[in-house]
Structure 1
């Protein structure tokens, strides 16, 4: 047996060892990383965060550092719509999100909220872009006519738009001439052909517009997605009005009642103006009451003039009293309508151009300049016909050769003008580019707390890629030099969970973050974490208003 003091010493040592073990265990739990207590974090995303892709990937794969369970997975597409047509599967540390095949071009945001192994919810978001970064395609910075659409799709859009214009102007205008201005009802094969082509082109235009909106291929025309997407734009009502007008023109040509034919023809001509006023840059320019009215009148005037040319040329091949009577009626209305056509066109050009130099240094202005040159030639030919050739017809009714040649030249010029106008689909007007440039003024954000402050300059402060420049000061306006800076953004209104980016220190001591994509306009929550030391963190919270 041990003596009393020795026994007490052993007891003290045993107790000390016991409590030392407990303390070591506690320190291990507290300071040593453990899978059971560490929160889950995203290790890898496929496609990578910020990736630029040519086509929609079939899935997005999120890999975490431990097993996770998805709570909320939300895909917000480039149009700002939450997509319900995704599929989510989880396998241990990996979450796979199946994507729809109809994502529009632009930046998509996949927002996630997952449950980590310790039952803690973890939120975040990854971005990837399809075709282009949202807001990165600067209007006016096009590399060719079809820069926004693929070449083949661009030509399909142009051809279908050209065909619609032929139906509206040559078809409906021709039906109006035959029903209202011609003294006797005659066959109108050119107008019938233009109307048939216009109706087919209206259908095709709707389809290819949908393909362009969603970034799809021609094979997707067999699905409903592009058609529904196009119908949801202003082009849907415009083509609907145009098709109804063309059907009215077709009915005017084939109906037997002269009175009903005139009513249908006039209705069709009005439909031309309504169809054009329902869509397009010019119709949507402010003030819309004036611009839509100008487009309406411009369309009616163009259809009246362009539609009469082929019927007049066909009548001139078989000269007779009907030709002189039709020319007389056409000329009486042509002079005031051409004046309306010119004035409305001039007003729209002034609104759209923004500045005279835009006629030369923008694609829109170059198309407009070419159109004006062709219109000037067209007016010269029309004046020659009106004041030289037409007065000579009564003296030599059978000598219409010069008139036929002159009208033929007018037809060629009209076709060239329609081709140019169809190309405006790909050339935003300078008015829009000026508005975008004005909107791209940097946004300044100041966040101040009792521990420090930061001045943030966000350029351009609009949807698309942005640069963040950060300057830190202490609460008493002294120097604050953090060792590490992290910027976190979220948009709770859209359900976009916070996503973090690390800033880079510049040579002047300030911090910057380049090519930060803000895919949607509106209010974003901003958190700046400035790590001054390992134990001193300055957190600054504010809000940023992002422009469209």
Structure 2
């Protein structure tokens, strides 16, 4: 049954062609002919990305690794000075906020004409991605049986016994830990061989899967050691269910203030249902099973509608429409998941209306046992589909070259001695603007100055030297600036690199 479901999923959804982050703008453009070499390249995506590699390859196959600077959804990198005449391919590999790798390439020519031959952004992974999906489903099963079982024990009372806590904890931790490692291999893009490198674990840990794994491990350990201490159990449940809010496109869907609570509710309600199944099976071997089943049924009657409503809410946030249930890969997967959930609901109704009352009246437990086992099989199917859904871009992620998504504002990457300075003004229009300065070394490592001050002038209007100190915000320096009118503004930024060294850069910015 599991093999059949997995084969169906892999045939139905063409995994290698999927992409989560989409490239919406690149400079130079794909297929562009430039008479002089550009000083930098810029790539803008439809969501924030983290660079893995950025390479420039000439027509002879010679390769140079570039040092990108990441600023949310924009990557910039300085190009080597005085590129010779010829055709060049810019190859990029990034990871999106849901920890999935996206690869692509663009082609441009310096002094020569070229055809647009770059590949659009695609999600990479192949066999490692499929292995990651299966492993995630298995690890999620162990996690939800453990956490959901502990939640069920809290709600159903002391007669709800959960066995094999240590075994479930080990499966959950090892499964999710191996998932971080596999995800790093997917990000690295070197197949099975890449898994042998430390870089695979580093990339996986640096993605959103890494922090999620740390929080989940803490929660699993707390649940394993909690005994019947209610406070420790609640802390463990909060950590385990909270870990699912740190990674994946469901948790990152805008607005996050709505998506994250919906996801937490969805995971907790699903965990209660899944975790209760082994408890109910074990209870059927003991007296008083009917009373436990009745308590479960009362809780399920309230939680199942919340589970469904949260799922519908998350689907709407992903941009899903009724037509997408047929036309879109994500929608077809969701339709399959809904069909499996409908089967679970039908079995739950059968248990509540007929089988549980029959057991309470002294009937055999065998029909109810078979029904619960059938629920378990459907749960496995739901988890497998969910594993593939987690690697499938929802409709909201597919915004390519939309004119509304075009870049606003000004930005430039300027060499300054042994440093590179990214200067950005957004939206570069009259009124409120934000000035951002990021300083790195030649390798792309951030090297923030001690202090940064901007001076803005508009000579045509007689405006001279508006002084604006920049405040540090993370690795950047930020200033909110109100520009009174349009025109070509002159911007000078003074950087205090050390206590004894100050460097300055200037730029002209068209404000329209």
Shared fold per TM-score greater than 0.5: yes
Deviation at 1:313, TM superposition (A): 1.1
Alignment of 1:61-140 (within 5 A): 111-113=79-81, 126-129=88-91, 132-134=103-105
Give the Cα separation in 2 of the matches to 1:208 and 1:313.
Answer: 34
- Paired residue for 1:208? 182
Q: What is the CA-CA distance between 1:233 and the residue it aligns to?
A: 2.4
Aligned pair partner of 1:171 in 136, 140, 146: 146
Retained in 2: the 8 A contact 1:246–1:268?
A: yes
CA RMSD of aligned residues (A): 4.5
Indicate the residue corresponding to 1:424 in structure 2: 389
Find the counterpart in structure 2 of residue 15 from structure 1: none
Q: Does 1:492 align with 2:413?
A: yes
**Deviations 1:489-521 (CA, angstroms, capped at 9, x unpaired):** x9635869xxxxxxxxxxxxxxxxxxxxxxxxx
Are residue 299 (structure 1) and residue 267 (structure 2) matched?
yes
- Whichever of the two has the greater Rg, that structure is 1
Partner of 1:276: 244
Of 218-227 and 127-136, the range deviating more from structure 2: 127-136
Paired residues of 1:234 and 1:278 also in contact (CA < 8 A)? yes
**Pairwise CA distance, 1:441:** 2.8
Classify 1:204/1:82 alpha carbon distance in 2 versus 1 (closer, same or farther; 3 Å): closer
Q: Which whole-Å CA distance do the structure 2 matches of 1:129 and 1:325 have between them? A: 63
Conserved in 1, the CA contact under 8 Å of 2:277 and 2:372? Answer: yes
| CA distance in structure 2 between the aligned counterparts of 1:424 and 1:95, rounded to whole angstroms | 38
Instruction: Please state how far the C-alpha of 1:242 moved relative to its aligned partner.
Output: 1.9
For structure 2, the residue ranges without an aligned partner over 5 or more in a row are: 1-27, 31-38, 67-74, 94-102, 107-117, 422-507
Deviations 1:331-387 (CA, angstroms, capped at 9, x unpaired): 232221112111111111122134221111111000100011111110111111122
**1:320 correspondence with 2:241:** no
Say yes or no: does 1:407 pair with 2:372. Answer: yes
Q: 2:257 corresponds to which residue? A: 289
CA deviation vs aligned residue, 1:221-265 (integer Å, no higher than 9, x gap): 34332222222322222222222222223224xx4xx3x1x4333
- Correspondence for 1:467: none
Aligned to 2:488: none
Query: What is the number of equivalent residue pairs in this alignment?
Result: 354
Aligned residue for 2:79, secondary structure, equals: strand
Aligned residue among 149, 160, 163 for 2:135: 160
1:132-155 Cα offsets, whole Å, 9 max, x none, are: 42587667xx8xxxx6312x2122
After superposition, what is the alpha-carbon deviation per residue over 1:155-210, rounded to whole angstroms, capped at 9, x for unaligned?
A: 22112211221122122212333465353475613x54433222111111111111
Instruction: Give the 5 Å matches for 1:361-400.
Output: 361-396=327-362, 399-400=364-365
Corresponding residue of 1:63? none
Offset at residue 415 of structure 1 (A):
0.6
> Closer, same or farther in 2 for the Cα pair 1:401/1:83, shift >3 Å?
closer
Structure 1 segment 43-54 matched on structure 2, within 5 A: none
Tell me the residue number matched to 1:241.
215
Match of 1:149 in 2: 125
Correspondence 1:433-472 to 2 at 5 A:
433=398, 436-437=399-400, 439-441=401-403
* 8 A Cα contact 1:50 1:126, kept in partner: no
**Equivalent residue of 2:403, what SS?**
coil
Given the two structures, how large is their TM-score scaled by the length of structure 2? 0.59
- Cα distance in 2, alignment partners of residues 219 and 108 from structure 1: 30
